[in-house]
Amino acid sequence: DSGVTQTPKHLITATGQRVTLRCSPRSGDLSVYWYQQSLDQGLQFLIQYYNGEERAKGNILERFSAQQFPDLHSELNLSSLELGDSALYFCASSVSGAGYEQYFGPGTRLTVT
């Protein structure tokens, strides 16, 4: 158990809908990272927050947004969902903003039908 929690574990929704994925980092970790893993793909970095502020941005679509709250939990919002958004979404946390060793949650499997 990495200490990173993600909810929900599974999510099935229809195209055009909006969903929110939630992540709680390990106790003491200030950085949260979001990754997307599509079928047969590696982990694609989406976005990083450090102590409430956006720190780095990857290939995150404009339809996607994230935030980190004062209690350090983070939410990833996905809107106007398309079939291609079906993927595993992982959250990771690290102590610092440099994030050399990131600890991953179990992921949320999103299925868009």
Partner 1 sequence: DQQVKQNSPSLSVQEGRISILNCDYTNSMFDYFLWYKKYPAEGPTFLISISSIKDKNEDGRFTVFLNKSAKHLSLHIVPSQPGDSAVYFCAARLLSGNTPLVFGKGTRLSVIA
Answer for the pair 70, 30: CB distance below 8 angstroms, yes or no.
no
CA angle, 63 then 46 then 69, to 5°: 80
Q: Which is nearer to partner 1, 8 or 58 (CB)?
A: 58
Q: Which is nearer to partner 1, 35 or 64 (CB)?
A: 35
Interface residues with partner 1 (CB under 8 A) are: 2, 4, 33, 35, 40-45, 48, 55-56, 58, 90, 92, 97-107
Answer for the pair 84, 98: CB distance below 8 angstroms, yes or no.
no
Tokens of 91: 């959250």
Which residues neighbour 24 within 8 Å (Cβ) at sequence distance 6 or greater? 4, 5, 6, 72, 73
Q: Which is nearer to partner 1, 2 or 17 (CB)?
A: 2
Q: Which is nearer to partner 1, 108 or 112 (CB)?
A: 108
* Minimum distance from residue 54 beta carbon to partner 1 (Å): 11
* Minimum distance from residue 15 beta carbon to partner 1 (Å): 26
* Minimum distance from residue 37 beta carbon to partner 1 (Å): 9
Answer for the pair 44, 57: CB distance below 8 angstroms, yes or no.
no
* Minimum distance from residue 43 beta carbon to partner 1 (Å): 4
